Structure 1
Amino acid sequence: MLAWLGLSTIIALLFFVMTKKMAAVVALILVPIATALMGGFTTEIIDFITEGIKSIAPTGVMFIFAILFFGILTDAGTFKPLIKKLLNFSGNDPAKVTVATALLAMLVHLDGSGAVTFLVTIPAFLPLYDALHMKRSTLATVTALGAGTMNILPWGGPTIRAASALDVSVTTLFNPMLLPVIIGLCSVLVIAFFLGKKERKNLPLTANSMVYEATDLASTEHERPKLFYVNIAMILIAVALLISGMAPPHIIFMVAFALAITLNYSDPKLQGERINAHAKAALLMASILFAAGCFTGILKGSGMIDAMAQGAVTLIPESIGGHLALLTGVVSMPASLLFDPDSFYFGILPLISNTASHYGVASVEVGRAAIMGQMTTGFPVSPLTGSTYLLIGLTEVDLGEHQRKTIPLAFLVTLIILSFSLLIGAISW
């Protein structure tokens, strides 16, 4: 009974979210409450939800303050000198241009926002691509690969969702993935180099004498160029502390945000303005995370998840069950074309991970496998994400053309990350 009730809950969530009958935040709250009531649960639902929200709270706090922290530093112009240096480095060599494009996409995606990454990277490089007769589809592909791979970072949406759904800390989930992700980022740079090398054949004869001026990088009243090194130091220290595990991620970003906004904007009125400028992005994701606490709290507290896992164990051959983490990693990137992140991480992932645990596979390994591709390398090609349409709109590339060129390369990057994760034992064979 509980297994079928849990399955019905997941199917209903997928239906309402993917058909856009309900906003994800609404479906995550109402669907499990409705099915729990159907299952005969009453006042216990309150306890299920409360426990679920408690488990999500640290992750939600971390995400809110990470968004505010990187948003404040972006407002302060911290990344603008680096953008200018990348443009100067690229010159008129297509191979250098594509590498610089990937580096900029990675840099800007520190705040985890695909829209911001595309709005900064594409206008900065598009005139140069056109001037050098380089394909705009190459610009879209390289930007997508850089942003997608960076989306695996601890404060990225997919990683936070996976940690929340599995009720593990972000550092426990991500830290063993650090080296494979770095190798994945390096592979993106190598791919970008070879894509640029192919573009050299289109280089105009006048290219060596061309002078390219960066697009609008004019200073704004919010920038604090004198604090550039201080701001860079804060980023490096925050990331180092996060990876080291010396303090919980939510504490690190709370303190980092407070220091960043105090040092860059001492006026309380200006502080309020800067916070308001980034509040929408922080609130949207935080609301989904806490709603997910309701969803996972009910499924776990009621026993639905365990019942579904037990049922799945009887259906999955043992020869396959022991490799669920590996299989999840293989299908994670293509799964971005079928499932939005909320549906996958809060609906599908808990079922897979709990089933895997019955075969001796740690559930956290399934989570690591999932973030290798599901709405990470896969998000900039997914028709289910709005930022994909922003990317192809800014570059004026057809969606089909973008997917044909980018999907195989994004899948390759995922497989590289998966291979090294297997090699170092971050996930089991």
Structure 2
Amino acid sequence: MNMSRYVLLTIVAMAASVMNMVPWAGPLGRAGTVIAQDPNDIWMHLIPIQAVAAVLVLGIAALLGWSEKRRIAKLQASGEFQGTTEVDVASLAADFQARQEKVQEEDGYHFRKGRVITIINIVVALAVLVSLLSGLLPPAPAFLIATTIALVVNFKSAGDQSEALKRHAPNALSMAGVILAAAMFLGVLNESGMLEEIALMLVSILPAAVGPYLHVIVGLLGVPLDLLTSTDAYYFSVLPIVQETVAAYDVTGLGAAAALIIGNVIGTFVSPFSPALWLALGLAGAQMGKYLKLAFPIAWVLSVAMVLVAFFTGMLV
């Protein structure tokens, strides 16, 4: 269709960033560790702004699509582009499925298939979402139970189940290691009194009018900060100091965390520290510089809009 790969990447990045605001994603897990609150509770607080962000992303996609349509029409009118805008989606989907099955076969995947298995998987996934939304179970036991059911349903033998766990264990263990290390780091900062001293120093030098809104200011700068810091550094170094500082002005830990999450999460896939972004650029055959030229301003404007909506609706107190 001769669409710009950078437009496609930008739309995917904005949508994925908004959907990264869930309890099993990295940002809420890290923030929950810092403010000692269940990630599910943080998510419940953020659901309204997540819904607003989803609508905004659809609007951005429509505008970018309209712009691409005009650009392609000009190319067709000038004779530079002789292709078609008709796409056989069914054929593309079948081709993708065939390639996936080939890769799975080469990697030694052995699992059950069929309509009944698919239906059971859908029911399990929906049951997890319902339990999280209703607060019936915390995220950890909900996913552990669902994983156990999924392993039994999808894999015939204990050996296949074990292989499935081994394939995904490195990612799970690395995240667990980060959370444990961060907990020790924050414990040292809290129990030694260093965090409190840093916050008191900031309070003493900040203008009185700025102090109560420090978390909002940092949230507004969330996307640029994502270009300078990793996700771990942002949530485990910046958030604790901001939280402790605004606490002197009666801002809750949830309010401080919400501001930083909303401001920063949209920048998840415009950050050079994001492995997923490099993967996407490689698959699309795109360059980081050209991508950032388009995606960065859009991400920052979307982030600022979300923070301001959250602030004026009282979500950041």
Gaps of 5+ in 2: 77-81, 105-109
- In the alignment, what sits opposite 2:261? 371
Is 2:216 aligned against 1:326? yes
Do the aligned residues in 1 keep the contact of 2:24 with 2:139 (CA within 8 Å)? no
TM-score, scaled to structure 2: 0.87
Out of 298, 301, 313, the position equivalent to 1:409 is 298
Shift of 1:211: 3.6
Instruction: Give the Cα–Cα distance (whole angstroms) in 2 for the partners of residues 244 and 327 of structure 1.
Output: 32
Q: How does 1:242-257 map to 2 (within 5 A)?
A: 242-257=132-147
* 1:225 shift after superposition: 3.7
1:385 Cα offset (Å): 2.3
Inter-partner Cα distance in structure 2 for 1:209 and 1:341: 40
- Which letter does structure 1 place at the counterpart of 2:306? I
Mapped to 2, the partners of 1:210 and 1:273 lie a distance apart of 38
Tell me the distance in 2 between the aligned counterparts of 1:208 and 1:320: 53
CA drift of 1:283 comes to: 1.0
Whichever residue aligns with residue 207 of structure 1, its letter is T
Larger mean CA deviation between 143-152 and 288-297 belongs to: 143-152
1:225 and 1:405, CA in 2 relative to 1: closer, same or farther beyond 3 A?
A: farther
Q: Larger deviation: 347-356 or 309-318?
A: 309-318
Residue among 83, 96, 103 paired with 1:216: 96
- How far the C-alpha of 1:167 sits from its partner, in A, is 1.5
Q: Distance in 1 between matches of 2:237 and 2:141?
A: 28
List alignment gaps of at least 5 residues for structure 1: 1-131
Q: Is residue 171 of structure 1 aligned with residue 40 of structure 2? A: yes
Identity %: 27
Query: What is the rounded CA distance, in whole Å, between the counterparts of 2:54 and 2:236 in structure 1?
Result: 27
Cross-structure match for 1:400: 289
Aligned to 1:207: 84
Considering only aligned residues, what root-mean-square deviation do their CA atoms show, in Å? 1.9
Query: 8 Å contact 1:325–1:361 — kept in the other structure?
Result: no
Is 1:387 the counterpart of 2:276? The answer is yes
Question: 2:307 corresponds to which residue?
Answer: 418
Q: In terms of mean alpha carbon deviation, does 209-218 or 161-170 score higher? A: 209-218
Q: How far apart, in 1, do the equivalents of 2:260 and 2:133 lie? A: 20
Among candidates 49, 65, 69, match of residue 180 of structure 1: 49
2:120 is the alignment partner of 1:240: no
| Partner residue of 1:159 out of 19, 24, 28 | 28
Q: CA deviation at 1:210?
A: 5.2
Letter in 2 for 1:158: P
> Do the aligned partners of residues 210 and 348 (structure 1) sit closer, same or farther apart at CA in structure 2, a change above 3 Å counting?
closer
**Contact 1:336/1:373 (CA < 8 Å) preserved in 2?**
no
The one-letter code matched in structure 1 to 2:4 is K
What is the Cα deviation at residue 137 of structure 1? 0.9
Pair 1:138-2:10 in alignment: no
- C-alpha contact 2:112 2:155 (8 A) present in aligned 1: no
* Amino acid aligned to 1:237: A
| Whole-angstrom CA distance in 2 between matches of 1:184 and 1:250 | 26
Per-residue CA distance 1:145-186 (angstroms, 9 max, x = gap): 111221121111111111112211112322111011122122
Question: How many residues of Structure 1 are paired with residues of Structure 2 in the alignment?
Answer: 296
- How has the CA–CA distance of structure 1 residues 240 and 211 changed in structure 2, closer, same or farther, with 3 Å as cutoff? closer
Q: Is the 8 A contact 1:328 1:366 kept in 2?
A: no
**Equivalent residue, structure 2, for 1:273:** 163
- The answer (yes or no) to whether the contact 2:223–2:300 under 8 Å persists in 1 is yes
For residues 133 and 207 of structure 2, the distance between their equivalents in structure 1, rounded to whole angstroms, comes to 37
